[in-house]
Amino acid sequence: MGQDRSRPAGDKSVIADERRRWSGETLSAALVTATELFKAHVPAINALNVFPVPDGDTGTNMYLTLQAATAGAARAVRENGIGAGAALAAAAHGALMGARGNSGVILYQVLAGLAETAGDAAEIDGPVLTSGLRRASNLAYRAVVTPVEGTMLTVMRAAAESADEAGGASIADVLAAALSGAAEALRQTPMMLDILRQAGVVDAGGQGIVRWLEGLRDFASGTSAVAHLTAARQAPPLEPAMRFLDLPELVHGVEEYGYCTNFVVSGDSLPLERFRAEISSLGTSAVVVGDAETLKIHIHSEHPGQILELALRYGELHEVRIDNMSAQTRRLLAGRAEELNRQGQLAGRALVAAIAVVAVAGGSGLTRVFREMGADAVVPAGSTFNPSTADIAGAVGGVSQQQVIILPNDPNVIPTARQVKQLTERDVRVVPSRSIPQGISALSAFNFEASLDDNVADMTAALDLVRSLALSRATRSVEIHGVRAVAGEFIGLLDGALRAAGPDALEVVEDLLAEAGTAEAELVTIFVGEPADSKLAERVVEAMSRRCPGVTVESVFGGQPHYDLLISVE
């Protein structure tokens, strides 16, 4: 349905009408405004991580989901001149495609609830929005397997209840009441969820809901509403946040073999920028940090000798370490590949496998591990955000099999992966792996000759056969479950929970290994991340050899961001 453009833009009746009811075009402008205002709060929302690790991404996930929703609505209104109900439906579809993480999936449910209530209405008013908020809250709760109070679900429910109690006739009144209720609920989240109280933060997703409602309220009640609408009409269309990744990258992953080279160069007046440019031209994943007297270098290359020769022209070399990434990975895969070859299955998989496996992993080394263990596609996980529904759906669409198993390998990716079944006619199942070690354990249990149901059952059971350890650095000082972490020091997580902290990385890892029961383990695999000190993995291997001489310990380059080490204990 087309929109009424006959009234002059400066007419006060336009402002009054747009506070009371929204057309499709006005709704689209409101989403544009709220999303742009939300953007400024992304870093602060990301910082509300319960555990002080540098992978906080709730704000980024919500922003990218909102951007996808906004782009979907803007495109539909621009091309088809649709009403408010259809614009909300387009926004919900955009959010579905662009949903990232648990918070993004809940945002999709919120928009779906609003769209369902609006139906095919040309315009929505305060009562319709109030009903939509109630439906949005209900759908959000239903989307979570085990709803927990003190989260963004609570904040969304409080927003709906406050709007209902206020009984506002105008959209501006409804949004003002919803925002007030959401803000009060957000303040209460640390009292509802003990882990938030210990961490000294409010719920990140709840904070995101408050900021989004705040943006919508500002659009609805501000004197600049018409200005926003005019700007939205004139602005170029937003690009959707989601994209289908190139299928060759998804199917084949990122090729990164050769040698991981680490060293220190010392000299007088070292030209940092020139040195960084010259070194970077000789390899990939280059990191050069330091000052005019000392530089620390990390780089991947097929020819480490060339890199060292270049560095010698600038100064003296120290702490040189060169790791053969290909050989490391081969050692990890050898035992598992031997069993598959014994069954005569691995070589013929491309011909006989009826089931595809799609895994999510960040880091070139981890990508290679999953590929060589038999994953048909690996979806790259960004360093600051999770893959979207569309990213994972693109990987599913890129395989030839009609039956597909997804390994999310992150608790925040599991809800997104579960949305993929809405976008494909293929039989898609999710094995809810919460970590890289769990994903590898599940993939090890895959049987090429078994049915889809049997594989899902066996792979899910395999998740409990491994303990997942992680080493990172604290982004802020905090005390959780009796563990005191100081900003900048090392922290250790066991199966996702903070269990150790301190200034010495090896001591933190040893504390984790002791709690994980490595004395009874058979295999410990260490995945070395990008932030890791060049000799840290070697020190851990030596310590393990002394403490548990009967345990096989492997060290493999993983290349994951944020985490110095990921450790699998089987």
Place of tokens 């598959």: 340
pLDDT-based confidence at residue 373 (cuts at 50, 70, 90) = confident
- Dist CA 541 CA 518 (whole Å): 13
Taking only the tens place, the pLDDT of each residue in 436-453 is: 999 999 999 998 888 999
Helix (H, G, I), strand (E, B) or coil at 140: helix
CATH of the domain at 411: 3.40.50.510
- 270, 288, 323 - which closes a domain: 323
Rg value, the chain, Cα: 26
- Dist CA 468 CA 566 (whole Å): 7
Helix ranges (DSSP H) in 81-203 = 84-98, 101-118, 126-143, 152-166, 171-192, 194-199
pLDDT-based confidence at residue 384 (cuts at 50, 70, 90) = low
Same domain, 33 and 179: yes
Same domain, 196 and 69: yes
Listed in sequence order, the residues at least 6 apart from 238 whose beta carbon sits closer than 8 Å to its beta carbon are 32, 67, 70, 71, 74
Number of structural domains in the chain: 4
Asked if residue 3 is part of any domain, the answer here is: no
Listed in sequence order, the residues at least 6 apart from 120 whose beta carbon sits closer than 8 Å to its beta carbon are 83, 85, 86
Contact (CB, 8 A) for 555 and 526: yes
Asked if residue 1 is part of any domain, the answer here is: no
Same domain, 417 and 317: no
Higher pLDDT, 404 or 239: 404
Mean pLDDT of 56-70: 90
- 292, 323, 354 - which closes a domain: 323
Long-range contacts of 137-140 (CB under 8 A, 24+ apart): 137/110, 137/113, 138/113, 139/109, 139/110, 139/112, 139/113, 140/106, 140/109, 140/110, 140/113
- Dist CA 410 CA 366 (whole Å): 14
CATH of the domain at 124: 1.25.40.340
Same domain, 212 and 251: no
Predicted pLDDT of residue 382: 66
Predicted pLDDT of residue 246: 30
pLDDT-based confidence at residue 297 (cuts at 50, 70, 90) = confident
Asked if residue 7 is part of any domain, the answer here is: no
Same domain, 116 and 189: yes
- 431, 465, 499 - which closes a domain: 465
Task: Compute the half-sphere exposure of residue 2: CA atoms within 13 Å on the CB side of its CA.
Answer: 3
Same domain, 314 and 338: no
**E strand spans, 345-439:** 355-361, 377-380, 403-407, 427-430
pTM for the model: 0.73
Listed in sequence order, the residues at least 6 apart from 464 whose beta carbon sits closer than 8 Å to its beta carbon are none
Asked if residue 240 is part of any domain, the answer here is: no
Contact (CB, 8 A) for 473 and 490: yes
Contact (CB, 8 A) for 405 and 459: yes
Asked if residue 85 is part of any domain, the answer here is: yes
Per-residue buried b or exposed e for 232-267, using 16+ beta carbons within 10 Å of the residue's own CB: beeeeebebbbeebeeebbbebeebebbbbbbbbeb
Predicted pLDDT of residue 351: 38
Contact (CB, 8 A) for 43 and 201: no
Place of tokens 């609006």: 118
Which among 494, 370, 437, 473 is positioned nearest to 55, based on CA atoms? 473
Same domain, 80 and 180: yes
- Dist CA 434 CA 440 (whole Å): 11
Predicted pLDDT of residue 328: 55
For the chain, helix, strand, coil in percent to 5 are 50, 20, 30
**Listed range (208-212, 248-252, 349-353, 412-416) with the worst mean pLDDT:** 248-252
Same domain, 390 and 337: yes
* Amino acid at the residue 440: I
Same domain, 287 and 191: no
Asked if residue 239 is part of any domain, the answer here is: no
Asked if residue 121 is part of any domain, the answer here is: yes
Asked if residue 176 is part of any domain, the answer here is: yes
Same domain, 453 and 344: yes
Same domain, 230 and 252: no
Percentage of residues in the chain with pLDDT exceeding 70?
82
Q: Which domain holds residue 355?
A: 328-465
Same domain, 188 and 91: yes
- Dist CA 512 CA 533 (whole Å): 18
Listed in sequence order, the residues at least 6 apart from 66 whose beta carbon sits closer than 8 Å to its beta carbon are 31, 34, 35, 38, 95, 107, 212
